[in-house]
Amino acid sequence: MAARAPLAMPHAAAAADPRPAGAPVAPRPTAPCLRARGTSGVPLLHQRPVQRAHRLLLPAARPGAIGSAAEAAPAEGLAQKLQGVEVFDLSGKAVTIVDLWKDRKAVIAFARHFGCVLCRKKADLLAEKQDVMQTAGVALILIGPGSVEQANAFCEQTKFKGEVYADPTHSSYDALEFAFGLFSTFTPAAGLKIIQLYREGYRQDWELSFEKNTRTKGGWYQGGLLVAGPGIDNILYIHKPRAAASYAESLRSKLRPDASILATLRSLASASASSSKSKAAGKSLADHDPSAEPTSSYIVVADQDSSSVTSRINRLVLAAARSILSGRGFSFAVPSRAASNQVYLPDLDRIVLVRRESARPFANVATARKATVTARVLSLVHAVLRRGIHVTKRDLFYTDVKLFGDQSQSDAVLDDVSCMLGCTRSSLHVVASEKGVVVGRLVFADDGDRIDCTRMGVGGKAIPPNIDRVSGIESDALFILLVEKDAAFMRLAEDRFYNRFPCIILTAKGQPDVATRLFLRRLKVELKLPVLALVDSDPYGLKILSVYMCGSKNMSYDSANLTTPDIKWLGVRPSDLDKYRVPEQCRLPMTDHDIKVGKELLEEDFVKQNEGWVKELETMLRTRQKAEIQALSSFGFQYLTEVYLPLKLQQQDWI
């Protein structure tokens, strides 16, 4: 037998040259296919035990997963490959493997090895179904990669009563091209199952598993399942695991040269620049309803200079003073930012705030404290504007900790003040601390200092909290890549992804802050580039993306300045988990809260407007699985930048 190539670690394989040969994985046939592909037409009664045996033997097998999962392979030509392959019964007699199903229907299970604790559990479960299989006229057979002595020991140590054969040279495993290798066999998922079985009393027989002759002739097989007969050529179905690295390589083979992908990106950038239907800029509430005065129905805020904001504060204070002198005390008319006042306007593709005000009188026990906090915030903002400086929200909180009690309270009142004054929050000169970062094909001036974002290293350039000081934006990028988390951002930055595919990469490291949202929108408006988003495949990833696209309810009054509606959802999407064969051990079950959030998203108007979003959310809720961007690292640490994203861009696979 020809010597096998050395074992390759999946991570190393995933990082190899993107041009090896590889064929697409055939879809797994459904139960009706078993009947349709058989020459004799297997009746439904006979299909059921076959399917049960399949599930019992390989419970970890799940279409789409890699490593511990399996694929349904085409059966054509297998009989010819198996001609001449021999296995040995318990007495040591050689039997041509195709003769096992020549005159009968048979389910042939290929064990990982005779001492495998997982196979022992499956053998016991199958023993309970032996009568059902016999009644259906189906022979149950097990073949293991080892000696006849190992096969006999296996029979003595388990309850399995079907036929057992040994394949000491692994010839049947080689002919069927079953996956093998240390890192394909011992996956995290397999480890967890082994621990569970040890708790149930099962034990691995290490000597039986890895005797010298087993190790030196290959070993580390994962096995599979074959359904065949009667008739040598009548192979109905084969189910076999496939190594993660192998599938990753097959995806690499689909990649076209970078020049071809760049041509696709240039077309996308050109369409984005010339499109008259862009939702990112220029639409106002007046465009939504030209016949009505927009300020009569909705809160509209705009950037204002310091003197204008200061004058508005002065007028508010003077009105309060007159009210006090007249004996009526004072009260603030504060726009209501309650959830019931937030509406989504499809024409604008963003959330806006309905104009509805409520009184906040000082001479009322229920509102006295809020009125005091409002007056204090107005005073502090006035002082900041007069000095011509900028402060953070944290600075503002620490000026009167005892009054504010908690920063969330001073932050909320700050938003109220923006609504009352009709100005953006940045016009108040109160900014959030630096959070977002940017890297890639972008040059701009930050308060006069020239910044080249291709020279910012792995960490990138912090997005200035005061976007007003940014000027002179220049770029030769073809698109903007919006990333949810810092970990993916660092991978993209370290691999210099922006040089291979000219782009600007930015992240807010989770929940988007105001500065990052303002910066993204400004890049979109000034550079007229398409924006592609990379977020986790979970409800929170979609919520984060929705904030960038149509705004948050907390700041709906400023949605015109903070939103970038025309963002394309590149990944990671729920459908990608199976499409890209994300390993089962890298997927996470959705919690009850995750499911609740997902269902709430399905009820949102902005989600209902996009059929693609609806389908992906329904897929997520149906499978009840989620995954982070880092799940792609199971194929290799650079798989994200070398395979997944290039393939997505090549296929224009976005919503």
Among residues 202, 221, 237, 398, the one annotated as catalytic is 398
Q: Which two tokens stand for residue 406?
A: 């908690």
Q: How far is CA 397 from the centre of its chain?
A: 36
Q: Are 123 and 145 in contact (CB under 8 A)?
A: no
Q: Are 267 and 107 in contact (CB under 8 A)?
A: no
Please give the helix or strand (H or E) that residue 332 lies within, else none: strand 331-335
- Closest by CA to 26, choosing from 142, 140, 177, 175, is 177
Burial 132-141 (b: 16+ CB within 10 A, else e): ebeebebbbb
CA distance 589 to 267: 39
Please provide residue 483's backbone torsions phi and psi, each rounded to the nearest 5 degrees: -115, 135
Peptide bond between residue 597 and the one before it cis (omega within 30 degrees of 0)? no
Please provide residue 315's backbone torsions phi and psi, each rounded to the nearest 5 degrees: -65, -40
- Parallel, antiparallel or unpaired: strands 479-483 and 503-507: parallel
Q: Are 368 and 362 in contact (CB under 8 A)?
A: yes
Identify the three-state secondary structure at position 102: coil
Beta strands per DSSP E along 382-442: 391-392, 430-431, 437-440
Please provide residue 22's backbone torsions phi and psi, each rounded to the nearest 5 degrees: -170, 145
Q: Are 552 and 415 in contact (CB under 8 A)?
A: no
Q: Which two tokens stand for residue 504?
A: 């600007």
Q: Are 644 and 612 in contact (CB under 8 A)?
A: no
Identify the three-state secondary structure at position 43: coil
Q: Which residue has the tokens 């229907």?
A: 105
Eight-class DSSP state of 644:
I
- Closest by CA to 572, choosing from 625, 505, 611, 636, is 625
Burial 388-427 (b: 16+ CB within 10 A, else e): eebbebeebbeebeeebeeeebbbbbbbbbbbbbbbbbbb
- 304, 307, 308, 309: CA torsion to nearest 10: 80
Whether 498 is a known active-site residue: answer no
Three-point CA angle 106, 108, 110, nearest 5°: 180
Catalytic residue numbers, as ranges? 398
